[in-house]
Structure 1
């Protein structure tokens, strides 16, 4: 699809929709990571190693989006987000297949949300992200002039992107610190925080 003959007003609207889409995606992922943090710190549900990798993948999707806001829109940055979405899908599928049949040593970590555990939700999240990017590229991928419009053209979007971006960075720092406390320099586990000497009671 090409918008080469579209009016400047149409191009401006498409650029706004492009950045609004990216902002909405980053905000939703940030909310998911906040929910994961609440379950970890408020309810004591420590993430497993594969759960931690899924958080890394979600932060990676947001990293690609942050580059769009910081440096201007680029299909290269879109590729970064898509790559991390694929990584999320692979890790989540592996954990789901490992734990899909309950047996000693293999059970879903944490509580179910609406009947589904986090690895299953991560598969859904990854698929939704990939489908959303596919649709966006199918609709707007032919408009190369999107790369000449920065988010600063839309002040309200720019302010919102800065705020959500700051939350994502804070979540990344929080998760990094949490991993260090939980795992130290050894292999990660779900029994406690190594650096605090805290161990969860056996269930």
Structure 2
């Protein structure tokens, strides 16, 4: 078997770190669209970001503590939540005469890409769950502190934590302590209501 030549828990930690990096790219692009193109995310968009952040947290747990069934369970539940929210938004905009929300990227809108991403996460996580022997025994250390992680993994973890905090701050500034606007045009905490 291919994995017998390598330390399976280490390989899986690195696969999870690569997944975390992929989600970081998705959210960094969302921030680019929000801050550079001034396209504020709608409430459903913010909920999709919550789904991505929850997926990131599950991947961070796998990177730090090694693969565990409950980490994968959290990842699957987060992806199902995100897919449901994204599908809800897709269904709102397929009605004839209903304009789409935001710009499209490579022919599809963000919420469609989000749905594709969440379904991909579900499929990839399901395939990871099929790898035999990843939970049996202790082939490697359980918890690996941040300081002992390889440099590239430390970088991915740091960026991931910064993105999670930036998402929380951005949502607070956009919505304040109130309900988010259906079609936001301003940051509620920065620009008072009219």
- Pair in the same fold by TM > 0.5: yes
Q: In structure 2, the residue corresponding to 1:195 is in which secondary structure?
A: coil
Structure with the higher fraction of residues in helix conformation: 1
Match of 1:160 among 152, 156, 166: 152
Match of 2:136 among 129, 134, 145: 145
**Cα-to-partner distance string for 1:75-134 (whole Å, 9 max, x where unaligned):** 11111111101111110001100112254xx53321100000011001110111111111
Q: How many residues align?
A: 189
Match of 1:20 among 14, 19, 27: 14
1:101 equivalent in structure 2: 95
Q: Which moved more, 1:143-152 or 1:160-169?
A: 143-152
Question: 2: distance between equivalents of 1:81 and 1:129?
Answer: 8
1:124 equivalent in structure 2: 116
Question: 2: distance between equivalents of 1:143 and 1:179?
Answer: 37
Question: 2: distance between equivalents of 1:147 and 1:37?
Answer: 40
Q: Which moved more, 1:93-102 or 1:110-119?
A: 93-102
Relative to structure 1, is the Cα distance of residues 156 and 146 closer, same or farther in structure 2, using a 3 angstrom cutoff? farther
Unmatched 5+ stretches in structure 2: none
Relative to structure 1, is the Cα distance of residues 14 and 194 closer, same or farther in structure 2, using a 3 angstrom cutoff? same
**Cα-to-partner distance string for 1:136-194 (whole Å, 9 max, x where unaligned):** 111x1443237652475xx9963322211111111111111111111111111212111
CA contact (8 A) 2:75 2:125 kept: no
Task: Determine if the alignment matches structure 1 residue 60 to structure 2 residue 63.
Answer: no
CA contact (8 A) 2:7 2:139 kept: no
1:196 equivalent in structure 2: 190
Which aligned runs of 4 or more in structure 1 are off by greater than 4 angstroms? none
Q: Under a length normalisation based on structure 2, what TM-score does the superposition of the two structures give?
A: 0.86
